[in-house]
């Protein structure tokens, strides 16, 4: 096993420090822990929850601060936040479109932070509005995603889907260094347009340069916003997991779409009678993986484990937790077998190797979520797995201490020859527009197994290439050496 970046379960509603009076300003500054920093985090490894703290004057409109902003997306060294203006909350799905602010927080550091175990960023980047006619900066917080790269480049993209429109969705994109949003009209896939039902967005995840927008009741839409002419694709949920009508409001407590080990995953807690999860003592947690097959993209079931089996294992009995079906919290970014669950009554998280049916971690205290105006649980709507920036992890001496490891499971890996054969079969079954989009996708962006095959076919024998794991390890080593040299001086 090769260690990857330490990660945290990040609460998606930050703590906003109120503007202090002169009498208690020093106390609040000391509690915040970072002199002049706009945003700070007190790192708590799983199974605890890490909470972002926002300084009093970091709000885009300090006179009417939003006490419940929302983290829309979290990628290494980059957070995207939505701030509303009092009395509207940024965490609300129904945003005040003309009084919302998108803020990107980058380059978290430990330097200058007074408290041990903290990291901070000292300024935020405000994303501009969308131009004429007071167009809103955001339409729906569940429809906006973020892609970023190690060199600092990022793109914010929102997909606006209206099934009553004339056959096209609108993709709004803003990229690092730009001064305006770019709008692209995307044609609906025919099998999506033919479905007589509304699209209810429930979130977005990034996989390499592709963004996946999902409606947890019936499917996903995907495209690569970096290509010149993105092609919008629709993917149904696996097997029979779509529901006839729109999902229940608490769907995020038992369904989630995530990325683990750089692969798209769908996870669901399924009760025995396919009814409501919380009223049943027996249920199954299942995971599907999105894979390429000769017939095209499809879902492959990775595992299904009954909670009865988990509860009956000695590792669960030792926790003395009740035999209640928990809520779905998060999946380890680099080990898809490791899933975290939340018990609402006890407000405790625990991590399970689902494939083995064994509890690996259990929180010794209640998790910390912000005191919201309404009851919330630690589900994917209110928490997100976040790989820490490598320099933060190294400075805090967390490398090697996290539970996030790459499991070298060869059963899930394809060698270059197998991947090439499979890719050719898939390509032959694609229409020209989809094939063009896929080719452009794999010619740009971070390393992937597909681009590695193309590199071997087109490059000289002396071309140098690092796998994703080697690049991560090499980057960590560079930061270790830099830190060592500074200490020697």
| 459 is a domain residue | no
| pTM, full prediction | 0.79
| 435 is a domain residue | no
Q: What is the pLDDT of residue 428?
A: 64
Q: How far apart (Å, rounded) are the C-alpha atoms in residues 410 and 424?
A: 22
Q: What is the pLDDT of residue 475?
A: 56
465 or 176: which leads in pLDDT: 176
| 317 is a domain residue | yes
Beta carbons within 8 Å of 77's beta carbon, 6+ residues apart: 106, 107, 108, 148, 150, 389, 392
126 or 465: which leads in pLDDT: 126
Average pLDDT for residues 60-83, to the nearest whole number? 88
Q: How many residues does the chain have?
A: 489
| 469 is a domain residue | no
3 state SS for 374-429? CCCCCCCCCEEEEECCHHHHHHCCCCCCCCCEECCCHHHCCCHHHHHHHHHHHHHC
Residue 39 has pLDDT above 60, yes or no: yes
pLDDT, tens digit (0-9, with 9 covering 90-100), for 289-307: 998 887 778 999 999 999 9
Residue 86: band (very low, low, confident or very high) from pLDDT cuts 50, 70, 90: confident
Neighbours of 219 (CB within 10 A): 20
193 or 24: which leads in pLDDT: 193
Average pLDDT for residues 399-412, to the nearest whole number? 43
Beta carbons within 8 Å of 488's beta carbon, 6+ residues apart: none
Token look-up 């071997």 returns: 456
Beta strands 101-106 and 118-121, pairing class: unpaired
Of 74-78, 101-105, 327-331, 397-401, the least confident: 397-401
Q: 146 - beta bridge partners?
A: 156
* Residue 140: domain span: 2-413
Average pLDDT score, the chain: 79
Residue 485 has pLDDT above 70, yes or no: no
Structurally, the chain folds into a number of domains equal to 1
| 50 is a domain residue | yes
Q: How far apart (Å, rounded) are the C-alpha atoms in residues 141 and 151?
A: 26
| 214 is a domain residue | yes
Q: Counting Cβ atoms within 10 Å, is residue 164 exposed (0-12), middle (13-18) or buried (19+)?
A: exposed
Alpha carbon distances (Å) from 10 to 46, 72, 216, 370:
10, 11, 21, 12
Dihedral pair phi/psi, residue 51, rounded to 5°: -120, 135
Q: What is the pLDDT of residue 371?
A: 66
| 463 is a domain residue | no
* Cα four-point dihedral sign 79, 82, 86, 92: negative
Is the distance from CB of 285 to CB of 304 less than 8 angstroms?
Answer: yes
Encoded tokens for 384: 């997100």
Of 19-28, 57-66, 263-272, the least confident: 19-28
Q: What is the pLDDT of residue 427?
A: 67
Q: What is the Cβ-side half-sphere exposure of residue 439, based on CA atoms within 13 angstroms?
A: 10
pLDDT, tens digit (0-9, with 9 covering 90-100), for 113-168: 555 567 777 668 888 887 655 566 778 899 999 998 766 689 999 999 987 776 78
Encoded tokens for 117: 């175990």
Q: CB under 8 Å, gap of 24 or more: what pairs does 309-312 form?
A: 309/357, 310/352, 310/354, 310/357, 310/358, 310/359
| 353 is a domain residue | yes
């Amino acid at each position: 096993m090769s260690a990857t970046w330490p990660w945290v379960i990040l609460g998606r509603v930050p703590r906003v420090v109120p503007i202090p009076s002169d009498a208690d300003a020093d106390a609040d500054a000391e509690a915040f822990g970072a002199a002049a920093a706009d945003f700070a985090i007190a790192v708590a490894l799983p199974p605890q929850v890490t909470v972002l703290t926002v300084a009093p004057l970091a709000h885009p409109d300090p006179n009417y601060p939003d006490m419940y902003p929302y983290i829309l997306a979290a990628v290494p060294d980059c957070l995207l936040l939505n701030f509303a203006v009092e009395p509207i909350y940024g965490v609300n799905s129904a945003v005040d479109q003309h009084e919302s602010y998108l803020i990107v927080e980058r380059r978290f550091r430990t330097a200058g932070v007074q408290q041990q175990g903290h990291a901070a960023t000292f300024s935020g980047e405000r994303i501009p509005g969308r131009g004429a006619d007071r167009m809103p900066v955001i339409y729906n917080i569940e429809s906006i995603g973020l892609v970023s790269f190690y060199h600092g480049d990022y793109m914010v993209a929102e997909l606006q889907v209206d099934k009553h429109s004339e056959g096209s969705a609108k993709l709004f994109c803003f990229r690092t260094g730009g001064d305006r949003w770019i709008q692209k009209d995307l044609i609906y896939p025919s099998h999506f347009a033919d479905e007589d039902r509304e699209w209810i967005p429930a979130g977005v995840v990034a996989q390499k340069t592709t963004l996946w927008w999902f409606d947890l009741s019936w499917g996903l839409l995907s495209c690569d916003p970096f290509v010149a002419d993105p092609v919008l694709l629709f993917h149904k949920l696996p097997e029979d997991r779509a529901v006839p009508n729109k999902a229940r409001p608490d769907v995020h407590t038992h369904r989630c779409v995530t990325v683990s080990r750089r692969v798209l995953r769908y996870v669901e807690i399924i009760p025995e009678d396919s009814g409501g999860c919380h009223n049943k003592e027996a249920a199954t947690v299942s995971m599907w993986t999105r894979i390429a097959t000769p017939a095209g993209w499809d879902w492959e079931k990775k595992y299904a484990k009954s909670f009865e089996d988990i509860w009956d294992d000695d590792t669960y009995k030792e926790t003395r937790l009740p035999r209640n079906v928990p809520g779905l919290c998060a999946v380890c970014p680099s080990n898809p077998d490791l899933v975290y669950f939340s018990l609402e009554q006890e407000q405790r998280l625990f991590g399970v190797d689902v494939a083995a049916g064994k509890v690996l971690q259990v929180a010794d205290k209640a998790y910390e979520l912000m005191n919201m105006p309404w009851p919330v649980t630690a589900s994917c709507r209110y928490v997100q797995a976040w790989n820490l920036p490598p320099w933060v992890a190294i400075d805090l001496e967390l490398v090697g201490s996290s539970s996030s490891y790459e499991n070298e499971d060869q059963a899930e890996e394809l060698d270059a020859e197998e991947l090439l054969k499979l890719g050719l079969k898939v390509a032959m079954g694609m229409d020209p527009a989809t094939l063009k989009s896929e080719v452009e996708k794999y010619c740009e962006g971070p390393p992937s197994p597909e681009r590695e095959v193309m590199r071997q076919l087109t490059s000289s024998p002396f071309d140098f290439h690092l796998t994703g794991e080697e690049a991560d390890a090499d980057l960590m080593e560079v930061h270790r050496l830099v830190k060592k040299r500074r200490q020697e001086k």
